[in-house]
Each structure stands twice: as C-alpha cells, then as structure tokens.
C-alpha cells in the first residue's frame, strides 16, 4: 500500500442547493480519508463544486439572477454542507476560480495533437446530463438518467479521438491496474468499452453556452465542455498549470481514489484515463462507485422534484446520526432509500439504546466507584474483519462489526448486573469488569472515529479524560 493518499469526491452542479444524495458521497469519501489518517497515512482530501455547466446559466435566468450570483450562492451552500456533515476536506475547489482556469488551459495544451480534431457534428444531446448519447445507449429512446428524449444538436466543436485508446483502455480496466469498485461496475465499464469507442465532444460553441465557462485556448468561440472542465479539478486543485507543486500528490507514488456516483462512471473510468494518457500524466488508482439515494425507490434529484434537504435533517437529528444512517442503512454500492422512519428507528435502536446506553452505563458505574480512566498508551488493533471491510469500502459491514462489540458489551453488563455489586469484594469485582469493558469500548471508539467523529469525542470526554462522571446522554431521545 502506498503511504500517501489523495481522495476526491466528484464535484456537483450548483444549479440548485445540495440534496441528501451528495451527502452520501461526502461521508463515504470522508471515512476513507479519516481512516487513512488514523492508520498513519499522509492524506489529501478534496471536494468542491462544478460551476461551468450551462444548466447553471439556465437556472440563473429562471431566477432572474446573474449566473455568477447563482453559482456563488449555491457553492456557498455546498461548502456549508461539508461543515454541517463534519467533512475533513483539505481543499474545496470551485471551477470558476482562476487556479482552475489555469489548470484547464494547461491541460488542454498538453493533449496530444492526434487526439484532438475540430469538425461539424450532429448528435443526440441531453441537457440534464450535458452529454451526448448514441441511440444504443438510450433507454426506450430516452436518457437513462433523466428519462427524457435527447434533442438533436448540430454544431462545430473540438472532439477527442477516444477510439485511439480503445485497446489500451481494455487492458487497463481488464487487468485491474485501474480498479473500478465494485466488480459489477468494472464489468459494466468494460462492456461499454468493448462495444466500441468513438470520439466525443470536448468543447461547446460559446454562443450556445452564452460565453459561460472556460474558453478553449486560442479559440474564444469555443468553451471547454463542462465534463472535461470538471474532471480537471482533480489536478487544478493541486496547482496544475501554475508551477510544479501538483506533482507531490498527482504522482505514481500516491494512491489516488475518486469517489463518484454511478451516473458518472463513463467520464471517470473511460474519458478521464484516456485524457490523462493523452496529456502524458499519471492515472488514478481506484474509482469507487456508489449508487443513488432514493425516496420510495425513486432516485432523488433536483430536477425530479423530490430532493431532501440535508440541512433540515441534520438540524433535527444531529450530524453523526445522519452520517450513521448514510453509512449503515444505504448500501455502499447500491441504491438505498432515505427514510425518516428508518432514521428514527436506527437513532433509537443503534445509537440511543445501543451505543448511547452503553456509554451511560459505564459512566454511571465508573462514577459510582470513583474510577479514573485514560486511553491506553498503545493504539488497539481493530476488531477482526473490520480493516478488510474498510479497505473494500464496505462501510455498512464495517459498522456492523463495530456494533457487534456494542451488543456484546451491553449483554455482558446485563448478565453481570454490576449495579447490584456492593461491599469491598463487590467493588473490587466492579473494577475488574470496568477495566475489561473500558478497554473493549476504547477499541471500538478508536475505529469508530472515521464514521462518527463527534460521537467519539463525546465518549472520550465522558470516559477517558480522568475521573469518570455521570454525563448527559450521547444521543438524547427524540
């Protein structure tokens, strides 16, 4: 394993405020970054916003705002979401920043001349995706993501000759040198490649985008296609295009992981490696693909009118309960419903009655006998199979393993009924039991930190910071 890690989320459009779907991606990437730091790796974690999409122009017009005003307002809300979810990102990049434009210009200039052609094109275009489709990739003649028929568009653009990289991409993906996780997604990507690759547009007419975006170098009549522009954020956030410091992180010696949604794997697993190869740059190592957060089985989306406001949910339940739900109740690679009823249930059963009750019991018992407790000097080994689950990005399984410890400890306390112990002998036995339980809880707390960071701080404050005292519940009942 490489000692350094660079982990990123995709960057969302800012034509509207964030919904709960992107919160899933943020917390997944955050667990990866926090766990890597916990085991001693050097980590850089980046997220941000995609502000150069034409749909931002259209959304601003509908609201009577300038495009810049809209993207600045909504980008601010995405930044607020990272704070509300306690995301440990080292950088938040906006694609309207000058550092990003410099990176896009440098990347464009680095593309191999044989891979870039300029010509007229007629294609089927989905405004929601800002992407062209071939008829074979449609679902009953409609965009598979947005469920609307694409429109035929004719214009003159620059095109990347993706077919030049066909054989190389098959080997790259088939060999696992570029890992697409889970395996089912890798197979889906490979099947797409093996059907035959064709050129794709990497620019748009400035007239059609109303001049919004980054101009193609030396061609003010063309704007860099938003999906090419967006991918370059992984480099521009490192300083690519303005010096050499970017090489510290975009290096073969650094593990590079992109955490993305299943609707954008084509861009990340096919287009991006080919573009990087053309620009003679290192490749990412892993692309971790999650599913959709759904409501009643339907994808949640701004354009679908069923978006769930993450800020309201966080305000009611707290940051860590929302993180817990996203990581435990939503399959890491599949679709999963966001249900307030289910969130209530998990808050009560797993958090309040499970972990919260365990901590309250140990705090009361420790205070009863005047116990003083501090963390062990050596970091504990994780529970069996926990590290394997985290390395496989199976966040729900990792939490299940930790909650097995919670269950065992609560059962032991019930069996021993330590609150009934009295006298000198009883006190001695209680100290022995507390030593065992506090040690086991410390192991759990250590490895739970990437998932529920504030909760773990609360456990340390209650039980491992000197004299143990009775304290308020970790998870107040709703």
The tokens of 354 are what? 């499970």
Beta-carbon contacts of residue 89 (< 8 Å; ≥ 6 apart): 30, 33, 45, 46, 47, 82
Edge-to-edge order in the sheet of strand 215-216? 203-205, 219-224, 215-216
Domains of the chain: 340-467 (1.10.730.10)
- Whole-number Å distance between alpha carbons of 231 and 93: 12
| Helix (H/G/I), strand (E/B), else coil: 279 | coil
Radius of gyration of the chain (CA): 25
* Residues 337 and 296: beta-carbon distance below 8 Å: yes
- Whole-number Å distance between alpha carbons of 405 and 348: 18
* Residues 141 and 150: beta-carbon distance below 8 Å: no
pLDDT in tens, the chain (478 residues): 899 999 999 999 999 999 999 999 999 999 999 999 999 999 999 999 999 999 999 999 999 999 999 999 999 999 999 999 999 999 999 999 999 999 999 999 999 999 999 998 877 877 766 667 777 777 777 887 767 888 877 788 999 999 999 999 999 999 999 999 999 999 999 999 999 999 999 999 999 899 999 999 999 999 999 999 999 999 999 999 999 999 999 999 999 999 999 999 999 999 999 999 999 999 999 999 999 999 878 777 656 667 789 999 999 999 999 999 999 999 999 999 999 999 999 999 999 999 999 999 999 999 999 999 998 888 899 988 999 999 999 999 999 999 999 999 999 999 999 999 888 889 999 999 999 999 999 999 999 999 999 999 999 999 999 999 998 999 998 8
């Amino acid at each position: 394993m490489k000692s350094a890690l660079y982990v990123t989320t995709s960057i969302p459009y800012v034509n509207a405020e964030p919904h709960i779907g992107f919160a899933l991606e943020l917390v997944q990437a955050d667990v990866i970054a926090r766990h890597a730091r916990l085991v001693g790796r050097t980590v850089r974690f980046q997220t941000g916003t995609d502000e150069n999409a034409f749909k931002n122009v259209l959304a601003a017009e509908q609201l009577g705002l300038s495009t810049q005003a809209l993207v600045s307002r909504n980008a601010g809300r995405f930044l607020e979401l990272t704070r509300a979810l306690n995301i440990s990102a080292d950088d938040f990049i906006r694609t309207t920043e000058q550092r990003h434009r410099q990176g896009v210009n440098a990347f464009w200039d680095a593309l191999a001349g044989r891979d870039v052609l300029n010509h007229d094109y007629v294609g089927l275009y989905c405004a929601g995706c800002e992407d062209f489709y071939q008829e074979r990739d449609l679902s009953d003649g409609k965009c598979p993501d947005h469920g609307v028929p694409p429109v035929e568009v004719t214009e003159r653009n620059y095109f990347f000759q993706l077919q030049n990289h066909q054989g190389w991409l098959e080997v790259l993906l088939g060999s696992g040198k570029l890992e697409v996780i889970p395996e089912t997604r890798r197979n889906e990507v490979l099947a797409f490649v093996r059907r035959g690759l064709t050129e794709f547009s990497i620019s748009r007419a400035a007239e059609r985008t109303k001049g919004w975006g980054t101009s193609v170098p030396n061609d003010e009549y063309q704007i860099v296609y938003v999906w090419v522009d967006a991918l370059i954020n992984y480099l521009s956030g490192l300083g690519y295009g303005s010096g050499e410091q970017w090489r510290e992180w975009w290096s073969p010696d650094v593990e590079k992981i992109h955490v993305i949604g299943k609707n954008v794997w084509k861009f990340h697993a096919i287009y991006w490696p080919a573009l990087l190869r053309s620009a003679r740059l290192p490749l990412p190592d892993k692309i971790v693909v999650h599913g959709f957060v759904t409501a009643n089985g339907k994808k949640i989306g701004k354009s679908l009118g069923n978006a769930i406001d993450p800020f309201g949910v966080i305000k009611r339940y707290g940051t860590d309960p929302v993180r817990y739900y996203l990581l435990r109740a939503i399959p890491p690679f599949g679709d999963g419903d966001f249900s307030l009823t289910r969130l209530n249930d998990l808050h009560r059963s797993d958090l309040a009655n499970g972990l919260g009750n365990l901590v309250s019991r140990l705090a009361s018992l420790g205070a009863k006998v005047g116990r003083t407790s501090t963390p062990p000097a050596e970091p504990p080994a994780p529970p069996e199979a926990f590290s394997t689950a985290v390395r496989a990005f199976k966040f729900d399984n990792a939490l299940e393993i930790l909650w097995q410890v919670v269950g065992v400890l609560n059962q032991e306390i019930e069996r021993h009924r330590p609150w009934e112990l009295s006298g000198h002998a009883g006190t001695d036995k209680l100290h022995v039991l507390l030593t065992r339980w506090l040690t086991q809880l410390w192991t759990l707390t250590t490895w739970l930190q990437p998932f529920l960071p504030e909760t773990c701080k609360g456990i340390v404050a209650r039980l491992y910071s000197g004299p143990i005292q009775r304290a308020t519940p970790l998870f107040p009942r709703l």
